[in-house]
Structure formats: C-alpha cells, structure tokens
A and B are shown apart, each in its own frame.
Chain A
Amino acid sequence: MYIWKCWRDSRSRFTLYLIVVPATCVLFTIIAAAHGPFITVWKRGPVSGGAQLWSQVATAILGGVVSLIILLAALTLAVASIGEEYKEKTLDFLLTRPRRRRYWVWTCWSVGAGEILGLVVAGVVGTFGALCYETGYVYSWRLLVTTLPLFAGAVAVYSLAYLLTVLARNGEQGLSYGLGILFIDLLLPLAGYYWHVHLPSVMSLMNGGCEWATSPTLAFPLGELVLYIVVALAFPLAAQLVLERAEV
C-alpha cells in the first residue's frame, strides 16, 4: 500500500515529465532534421553522412538536453520521499505500522527509480523513434544500451537527492541542496576541459554512454557505469541507516 501512496504523491510530476521528455525529443529531432548543416558545425569531430550523422544527432539530443531534463526530474521526484514524512509529521504513524524501517526507505526509493526508468525509456524511444520516422533509418542495438548509462546517472542523482531530503527532513530543502550539487557537477566537465583532466561527472557518464552507441571505436564507459550504480545504491542505504537511528 505504501507503493500506492508514493505513486500517488509523485504521479502528477511524473506525468508531466512523461509528456515533456518525449515531446522535447521529438521537437529537437525535428529541428535537427530541418537544420542539418548546423549539426555538422556543432559536432567538431569527424562527421559522416547518413545514419551515422543522424545517430550522432540523436545522441547529442539525448546526451544533452534530454538528460538534463531527466536529471531535473530525478531531483524533483525525490521530493516525495521519507523526508516529507518528517515535514507532514506523519512519521509516528508510518513507523508504527508493522514493517522494518528499511522497508519505507527502499519502497519509496523504488517507486522513484521506476519512474525514472520510465522517463529514460521514454526519452530513448522518443528520440530514436522520431529519428526513425524522420530519416527512415533503422538503428542498432547499441542504441538501446544507452538506456543503462542514462538510467544509472539519473538514479544516482535521484538517490543523492533522496538522501538529502531524509537528512534535511524536508522534501523541498533536500531538492534545493540537490540542485546545488547538480549544478556543481555539471560544471565539472568544463573545469576538466580547462585543466585537461577528466573529472567524473554524471553528465560525462550519460553523454559518454550516448556517444558509445554511435561511435564503434569508443569504449563503453563500464567503469563509470558501475561506479554510478554503486553510488545510486549507497545513498538510499545511507538513508536507511539514518532512518533506523532516528528518534521520532
């Protein structure tokens, strides 16, 4: 029943994003299709024509704009977490239901993670579906694999925000902290580029995953993927430990 309740609390936000994400994909794909030459300028690396070009376009859209939206979604979906129970003062009701405390943490987290998966799938399907439609090309299985790094990156951010809402005991405050951290994280690739150093950043994971789909020579960012999956699971685990020690 808690699943139902968590879903209810987040469904309006989720539905909104579920419309925005594919809509963005389709919109940008159409724009790209109309402004083909612009893309060749923007992508500084070697560009070939045909399917290759278009998959590069797709990965640019997906790894760029869409992942930003998904990251934003990840943050805002984390608001409906255990942290909110503190604010609503319903913890003494919830924690006196016959479940271990970790049940509440992970159940609520799973609902959000599932929603993010839904958004990622919608983004991938939206982008490549629109491309298929526009260009008539059919794309390879590698494109489906892009869901993994996108998902891992988004869930890691979600988990971070989730932990922050529990620590802050307030959904919205946790969200603001999360936004702050995400902002810093997004700047890291720029700093890395400036100092010629590769700093791990969630965008580099998501972008890297998308690029791999279209560049056979690139290595799959497996190491980063595993790291972010571990991180994505470590944060709710920390939230569990916090809740288990909490006094209401």
Chain B
Amino acid sequence: MNDIAIWTEKLVKAYSQVKAVDELSLNVPRGGIYGFLGRNGAGKTSTIKILLGLTRPTAGQATVLGFHVGREQVAILERTAYVSENKSLYGNLTARELVRFTRGFYPNWSDEAAAKYARSFEIPMDRPFGKLSQGNRTKVFLLLALAQGADLLVLDEPATGLDPVGVDEFLRVLAQDVVSEGRTALISSHQLSDVEQVADHVGLIDHGRLLLEARLDDIKSQFRFVTAAGNALPQTKTAEVVSVTSDGTFCRYLVKQNADAFAAELRRQGATVTDVSPLGLREIFLELVRKEEVCTSGNVGGIAAAVSHSI
C-alpha cells in the first residue's frame, strides 16, 4: 500500500434517494498529480469530504496514505493539506495571523516556504481575510496548504478567482515544489486545460460513478476517435469501444486502445474509415459525460442518446 496515496473501494454516499457517490473505487498513486474531473454535482466534493473526514460514507471503505478513513482520521489530517471548495476563513484575522494560527498544528511547517509563497503569490498579508478578493482568498489557502509540509495535497477548485498570472504561478509551484519532492496532489477542477498540463493520472466521475481512470499519457497516446461511414456499422460498445455516436451517415467511435486494429476491422467489413484522430482531455470529458444533449440537427441527438454509452 506504500505506493498508493488514496484508495477507495465501492464508496457510497447516499442522501435519502440520491447517491452522490456511487460505488466509487479510486486509485491515486503516490508521487504524482491526479486530476479528479467531473461536472458540477458529479460527486467530486462529496468524495473529497469523505476522505477528509468531514462526512461519513454510507458504505464502502477508503484509505489515505495507508491510514483508514474514519478510524485513523487524525493521522490522515496530520499528513494532508486541504483546500476546500468553500474558501472561508476567519474574516477578522489577517493572512499573517492565519499563518500563525495554522503553523502551530504542523510540525513539518516551513516558515521559509510560507514567506516564499507569500511573496510569489503577492498576497497582502496584513489585510483582514474578510476584506480580501476571491483570488487573494484562494491564494491564502494555497499558501497555508503548501507551507504545511504535507505528504498529500487535496485541492478542490484551487484556482477559484485566480487571474492568469496567479494560475500560472500556481502551476509553476505545483511543477517545481510538489512533484519534485515526492508529494502527491489530488486536484479537483473544472479547468481541464490546467489539469491537462500537470496531471499524471486522471479520474473522471459523473453521477457519483467513475467513468474513466487512467494515466493521461495513455489516454492521449491510445484513445482515438474513429470516424467511419457505411452500412451496418456496429453500434454497440465493446471492451475497447467506450462510446458510439451516430448521425445516420457517420458513426464516431471513441476507442480506448488498438484504434488502428479497430479501424482495419471496420475496413474489412466494407466501411470507409474517414478519420482516426487523437483527442485532448476536453473532448474525452465531453464525449463521456454529455449524454442527454439535444442536438440541433433533427434526429441526431435522439440516436446519440440511445446509442451513446459510457464505461
């Protein structure tokens, strides 16, 4: 278990009839950056709250850094830095006082790191937190998390309110200070382009279920859109075909691996393969997650809804 940072098994969080987290089995390896992606309300924050001990799961189990979630929660909190989606702190305390408040909890706290990030993020340290802009509030949270000396960073929407310079600085710090020191980061974000830049692994969640979990490099080097035209094209998903979209004439397959072989097979069956193209994270995300979209051109949406599947 030493090379796993976060592990969950069939984690469930149900609120009366609705399952915010539905049999989620995550695997976050140590020493890298894991992009935790999904739409609003997909279950990302619910999952994170369970891992941090803020809520209790309905079923299933989880470990963080080898410690059991729930039973050994304090041990987890000693080693984990958390930036919550809701970025509220004590409005009457200044950033400097918040640093003073927080550092006492962590033996591995680094004052030099705190000073460094205060400078590089350009945080106004002597203004009350309540008077800070959203971007500055986020930066304070980032400072507190980064200076903590934690083995694991769990960041829920860590770029809220940050301007492009702030985002750039944040990515630089992630690249330079987090991974290089063997720490792990789980980043839950809508900003796919930022995640795509720094993530080793991604986990895509929708309606509480894990749709996809893979190395980002593998996704990019093996996932392909295969577009074909012809009669009697296969419309079902297989182990390799993750999703199918059809508009009557063309069929577009999202193939997980061996795309060339799949395209060759289609050709053998008489179809015309017009395109085999690689895809970025955004396209995969939209393809897997967007199921009920009504298309503007007549039938298309209907067929897509009937035929589109996710893993």
For the complex, give the distance between the alpha carbons of A89 and B91 in Å.
Answer: 10
Supposing A90-B90, A248-B49 touch, asked if A96 and B54 sit within 8 A by C-beta, the answer is yes
Point out the residue from B74, B84, B88, B93 that lies within 8 Å of A98, measured CB to CB: B74
Among B221-280, those with CB < 8 Å from A are none
The contact string, 1 if C-beta is below 8 Å from chain A, for chain B 269-309, is 00000000000000000000000000000000000000000
Determine whether the beta carbon of A1 is less than 8 Å from that of B77: no
Among A85-120, those with CB < 8 Å from B are 88-90, 92-93, 95-100
Q: Is the interface of B mostly helix, strand, loop or mixed?
A: loop
Binds A, one of B99-107, B175-183, B208-216: B99-107
In the assembled complex, A193 has its CB within 8 A of some CB on chain B? no
Determine whether the beta carbon of A90 is less than 8 Å from that of B88: yes
For the complex, give the distance between the alpha carbons of A247 and B75 in Å.
Answer: 19
Residues of B within 8 A of A2 (CB): 101
Supposing A88-B88, A92-B86, A93-B84 touch, asked if A247 and B52 sit within 8 A by C-beta, the answer is no
Please report B residues at the A interface, Cβ cutoff 8 Å: 49, 52-56, 74-75, 77-78, 80, 82, 84, 86, 88-93, 100-106
Residues of A within 8 A of B77 (CB): 96-99
In the assembled complex, A142 has its CB within 8 A of some CB on chain B? no
Q: Is the interface of A mostly helix, strand, loop or mixed?
A: loop
Determine whether the beta carbon of A100 is less than 8 Å from that of B89: no
Determine whether the beta carbon of B91 is less than 8 Å from that of A88: yes
In the assembled complex, A195 has its CB within 8 A of some CB on chain B? no
For the complex, give the distance between the alpha carbons of A195 and B104 in Å.
Answer: 56
Q: A93-B89, A97-B77 are in contact. List 5 more A-B contacts (CB 8 A).
A: A4-B101, A5-B90, A92-B49, A92-B52, A98-B75
Determine whether the beta carbon of B78 is less than 8 Å from that of A98: yes
Determine whether the beta carbon of A248 is less than 8 Å from that of B54: yes
Supposing A88-B91, A248-B49, A248-B55 touch, asked if A97 and B86 sit within 8 A by C-beta, the answer is no
Supposing A96-B77, A98-B74 touch, asked if A1 and B55 sit within 8 A by C-beta, the answer is no
For the complex, give the distance between the alpha carbons of A89 and B86 in Å.
Answer: 8
Identify 14 residue pairs between A and B in the complex whose beta-carbon atoms are under 8 Å apart, listed by A's number. Answer: A1-B103, A1-B105, A9-B92, A88-B88, A89-B86, A90-B88, A90-B89, A90-B90, A92-B84, A93-B88, A95-B53, A97-B105, A98-B78, A247-B54
Point out the residue from A1, A92, A99 that lies within 8 Å of B74, measured CB to CB: A99
For the complex, give the distance between the alpha carbons of A89 and B78 in Å.
Answer: 22
Point out the residue from A1, A88, A247 that lies within 8 Å of B101, measured CB to CB: A1
Least CB distance from A204 to B in Å reads: 39
Determine whether the beta carbon of A98 is less than 8 Å from that of B105: yes
Residues of B within 8 A of A100 (CB): 74
Residues of A within 8 A of B55 (CB): 247-248
Residues of B within 8 A of A97 (CB): 77, 102, 105
Determine whether the beta carbon of A88 is less than 8 Å from that of B105: no
For the complex, give the distance between the alpha carbons of A78 and B80 in Å.
Answer: 31
